[in-house]
Every structure is written in C-alpha cells, then in structure tokens.
C-alpha cells in the first residue's frame, strides 16, 4: 500500500498555493478513536477576506476513505485548473444546482441534486468555471485505489464507476436520490472541529453514502467518457497489458519489478495490476510463478538438467522450496518427473 493512498498532500497543495483564495485554520488535535481503522485527520480552511465567504474542510479516516466538504462563494468569476489529480476514486454528491463544471477542458456536464459525479483516477487536466456571488455546496468522498482493487478482487461489480482515467455522472431513482441528498445535507450540517461525536457521525454517514454509491443499485450513467475515447482507452490498456505479458514471458528468469514493468509498458502500475488480473485471471506475481513452473516442466521433460540446475534457473536457492512449488503447480514432484523423463530417453 502506498504511503499516502488518499493523496491528501496533493489536495493540501492546492489550498496552500500563493494564489489560493483559501487560508488554513487551526484545528483541534487529530481525534483518536473516531475511526475504527486509525486516527482521523482534519484540515480546515476559510475563504480569504475580500475573496468571498465560506469554508472547506477535509477529513481522512484511516487510509481508505477521506471526506471533503465545501460551502463558499467568491466575489469574482474564476476558472480553477487542476493538473496533478490524485489516483483516487472520488464520489462527489451534488447537493445544489450545478453552475457549470467542466469535467475536462473540452467537456461540460450539468448535474442535478442527488446525482453523483465519479472521477476514477486521473482524467487529465480538469477545469471548473466558478460563477461569482453564487453559494457553492460540495461534498466528496475519496476512496483509495487499494480499496477498489480489493473489492474488485473479491468479485464486486464496480463497472458503473467507469474506466480508470474517466469521469462520469450517475443519476439515481427518486427515492435513492432523496436519500443521497438527505445524507449529504446531514453531513454538511455537522460541526466537527470540537466534537468527537460529530466526527464519528460524519464517518458513519460517509460510509452509508459510500456503500450506496459502490453497490450501484438504482444508479444509471447519465454521462460518461465519449464512446470513441473510451474505446481508445480500452485499446491502450489492452496493448499495455499485452506488452507486459510479452516482457514477462521473454524475461521470466529475471522479471522486472511491477513498477519497472508498468513503466516499460506505458501504463500506471495500479492500472496495470487491475487490467492484468482482468485479462489473465491472475495477479502479476501469480503469473510469474506460473511461467517459472511451466518452463521448469519443459526443462524437466527434456531430461537435460539436474534438479539443482532447474531450481537455480527458476530463482530458487533451495531445491526443497522448488520441489514444493513444483508439486503445488503440477501435482507431482520434480524428481519423479525427472526420473520418468530420463528413463524414457
């Protein structure tokens, strides 16, 4: 797991820029016990005097979920430009009228209360046009890539969250939309700076909202990445995985690290792991073991290698460890297969 799976440092960089309309406020000590996974961390900001009015805060609960809340207006129109977007899955609940959010430099989508904007990873440069003297209310939940990968490996259907690198808009049936709005409004109303109970309630409501979004029941995509771009993205991921497989097959004796493999294949390491598992049904590590055992069997059947030579060729310092791995893969010991191969010659 990465050191900063929710990439909170990147979000904080935006608010700490010289041209940021926000300034940081002091907070109470990080609350211990507010999260079942680890301590909860809070950051608070307010709009600078003269730039407008309002506030923003951010709460990290463990290393899997962060909640951001925004309520502010600005005196002048502005265009917010985001480049270094974290590789998280962001679920943004629309609580009031959408006044024009540019998902990408070439796209504009409008949402209505109760919708969920989904940003799956880094979609590229993002612009947001801010209308002056209009109160903005925003609520977002960031989920770590590790968490989404774990859910996918456990069989959860998360296809409604889109492809990595995409942005989409999900719309719920009326009862669910009203439930999402109610949850969001309750979360926005909580005063968390001095009350541990409010912090616990914020996490609890956030988990319920997250569950509704991840299960995807009664949610349908209203907008998604354009068909041509989505198809191009799929082709890109497919080619990258094919390249990674070719590299692993040709360099099975001394395979590269996952980070090096991703770099050479031209794909993010997290995306490579996700799409590799979809393509092969195995993790990269499992596939490497499969390759070693397949080559070990071929070499054994040739009868030209000793057991020690085979173990060394497959990256094992000890023949007993190699024998255990071989038996697990093929259901018989390598010494038995080696004896059969030599007697047949």
**Cα gap 53→48, rounded to integer Å:** 7
User: Are 212 and 256 in a shared domain?
Assistant: no
| pLDDT above 60 (res 113) | yes
Which residue, of 236, 262, 281, is where some domain finishes? Answer: 281
Q: What is the pLDDT of residue 223?
A: 61
* Cβ neighbours of 76 (radius 10 Å): 11
User: Are 64 and 207 in a shared domain?
Assistant: yes
User: Are 171 and 258 in a shared domain?
Assistant: no
User: Are 159 and 272 in a shared domain?
Assistant: no
Task: Answer whether residue 2 is part of any domain.
Answer: no
The residue segments making up the domain with residue 198 are: 8-225
Task: Answer whether residue 56 is part of any domain.
Answer: yes
| pLDDT above 60 (res 16) | yes
Task: Answer whether residue 114 is part of any domain.
Answer: yes
User: Are 54 and 153 in a shared domain?
Assistant: yes
Which residue, of 225, 250, 271, is where some domain finishes? Answer: 225
Tell me the pairing of strands 116-120 and 166-172. antiparallel
User: Are 274 and 326 in a shared domain?
Assistant: no
Name, of 14-18, 183-187, 219-223, 237-241, the range with top average pLDDT. Answer: 183-187
Task: Residue 38: give its domain's CATH number.
Answer: 2.60.120.10
User: Are 277 and 295 in a shared domain?
Assistant: no
CA distances from 70 to 55, 56, 62, 140, 334 (A): 6, 4, 21, 9, 63
**Cα gap 144→151, rounded to integer Å:** 11
82 versus 214: the higher-pLDDT residue is: 214
110 versus 305: the higher-pLDDT residue is: 305
Give the angle subtended at the CA of 273 by the CAs of 147 and 154, to the nearest 5°: 45
* Cβ neighbours of 78 (radius 10 Å): 16
Instruction: Identify the sign of the CA torsion 155, 159, 162, 163.
Output: positive
Q: Quote the tokens at residue 192.
A: 């968390």
13 versus 204: the higher-pLDDT residue is: 204
User: Are 217 and 152 in a shared domain?
Assistant: yes
Q: What is the pLDDT of residues 239-258, one digit of tens each?
A: 999 999 999 999 998 999 99
Give the angle subtended at the CA of 210 by the CAs of 207 and 212, to the nearest 5°: 115
User: Are 248 and 188 in a shared domain?
Assistant: no
Q: Count how many domains the chain has.
A: 3
CA-based radius of gyration for the chain? 25
User: Are 25 and 145 in a shared domain?
Assistant: yes
User: Are 250 and 309 in a shared domain?
Assistant: no
Q: What is the pLDDT of residues 45-66, one digit of tens each?
A: 999 999 999 999 999 988 889 9
Local confidence band at 344 (pLDDT 50, 70, 90 cut-offs): low
Least confident of 4-13, 45-54, 313-322: 4-13
User: Are 169 and 25 in a shared domain?
Assistant: yes
Q: Quote the tokens at residue 330.
A: 């093929």
DSSP at 28: P
Q: H-type helices in 75-195, by residue range?
A: 145-153, 174-189
Which residue, of 207, 225, 243, is where some domain finishes? Answer: 225
């Amino acid at each position: 797991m990465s050191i900063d799976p929710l990439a909170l440092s990147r979000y904080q960089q935006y608010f700490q820029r010289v041209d940021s309309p926000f300034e940081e406020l002091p907070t109470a000590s990080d609350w211990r016990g507010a999260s079942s996974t680890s301590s909860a961390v809070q950051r608070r900001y307010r709009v600078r005097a003269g730039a407008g009015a309002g506030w923003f805060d951010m709460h990290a609960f463990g290393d899997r979920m962060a909640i951001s809340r925004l309520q502010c207006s600005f005196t002048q129109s502005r265009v917010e430009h985001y480049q270094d977007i974290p590789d998280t899955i962001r679920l943004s609940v629309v609580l009031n009228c959408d006044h024009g959010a540019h998902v990408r430099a070439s796209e504009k989508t409008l949402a209505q209360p109760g919708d969920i904007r989904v940003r799956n990873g880094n979609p590229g440069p993002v612009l947001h046009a801010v209308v002056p003297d209009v109160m903005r209310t925003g609520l977002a939940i960031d989920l770590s890539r590790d968490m989404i990968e774990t859910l996918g490996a456990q069989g959860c259907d998360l296809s409604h969250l889109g492809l990595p690198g995409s942005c989409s808009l999900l719309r719920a049936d009326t009862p669910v939309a009203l439930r999402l709005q109610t949850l969001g409004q309750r979360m926005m109303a909580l005063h968390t700076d001095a009350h541990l109970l409010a912090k616990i309630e914020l996490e609890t409501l956030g988990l319920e909202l997250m569950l509704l979004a991840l299960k995807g029941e009664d949610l349908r995509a209203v907008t998604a990445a354009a068909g041509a771009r989505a198809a191009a993205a799929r082709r890109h991921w497919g080619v990258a995985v094919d390249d990674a497989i070719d590299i692993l097959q040709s360099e099975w004796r001394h395979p590269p690290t996952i980070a090096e493999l991703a770099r050479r294949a031209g794909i993010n390491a997290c995306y490579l792991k996700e799409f590799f598992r979809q393509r092969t049904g195995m993790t990269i590590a499992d596939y490497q073991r499969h390759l070693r055992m397949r080559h070990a069997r071929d070499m054994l059947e040739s009868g030209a290698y000793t057991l020690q030579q085979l173990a060394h060729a497959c990256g094992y310092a000890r023949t007993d460890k190699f024998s255990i791995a071989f038996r697990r893969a093929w259901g018989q010991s390598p010494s038995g297969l080696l004896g059969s191969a030599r007697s047949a010659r």
